[in-house]
């Protein structure tokens, strides 16, 4: 099992996640969210605590789709499902973690997910409907945005 998978499977349990981190761990999230890179174990752990106390309940689930890599560099793609404390509903989205590790533990995490689906969820819209507003029905005209 890769470090990326180990981390994903510990989502919802910040103490178990902390046990995987090197002291100099960093965490980067999709740039479209405008969130700065988190640096150092205390910053990363504070973020993990915030996610699973203010954003989502801890009883989330992770369903692994695929996993690649080894102990030094790995990636995992998974479906994350959790009760959203913001929306009062179940949130579900595809995520990918890219993880670098060394002898002291995980040193770098780059997290990616479908930010458009998250925005649609928080707006109370079906996934893909934000894009549909500018390009037709969900799934229509794929690859034709901006063409008349």
Spatial distance between the Cα atoms of 73 and 123, rounded to a whole number of angstroms? 36
Banded model confidence at residue 118, pLDDT cuts 50, 70, 90: confident
Q: Domain limits of the chain?
A: 3-113, 115-148
Residue corresponding to tokens 């079906």: 126
Domain made up of 3-113: CATH architecture:
Roll (3.10)
16 backbone φψ class: left, alpha, beta (φ>0; ψ -120 to 50) = alpha
What percent of the chain shows pLDDT beyond 70? 88
End-to-end CA distance of the chain, in Å? Answer: 48
Residue among 123, 101, 103, 130 nearest 26 (CA): 101
Give pLDDT tens digits for 56-77: 999 999 999 999 999 999 999 9
């Amino acid at each position: 099992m890769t470090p990326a998978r180990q981390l994903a499977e510990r989502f919802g349990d910040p103490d178990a996640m902390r046990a995987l981190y090197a002291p100099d761990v960093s965490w980067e999230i999709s740039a479209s969210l405008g969130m700065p890179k988190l640096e150092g174990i205390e910053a990363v752990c504070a973020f993990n605590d915030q996610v699973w106390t203010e954003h989502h309940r801890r009883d989330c689930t992770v369903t692994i789709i695929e996993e690649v890599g080894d102990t030094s560099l790995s990636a995992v793609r998974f479906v994350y499902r959790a009760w959203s404390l913001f929306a009062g509903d179940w949130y579900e989205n595809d995520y990918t973690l890219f993880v670098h590790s060394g002898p002291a533990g995980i040193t770098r995490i780059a997290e990616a997910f479908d930010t458009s689906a998250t925005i649609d969820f928080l707006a109370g819209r079906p996934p893909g409907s934000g894009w549909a507003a500018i390009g037709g029905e969900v799934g229509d005209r794929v690859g034709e945005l901006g063409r008349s």
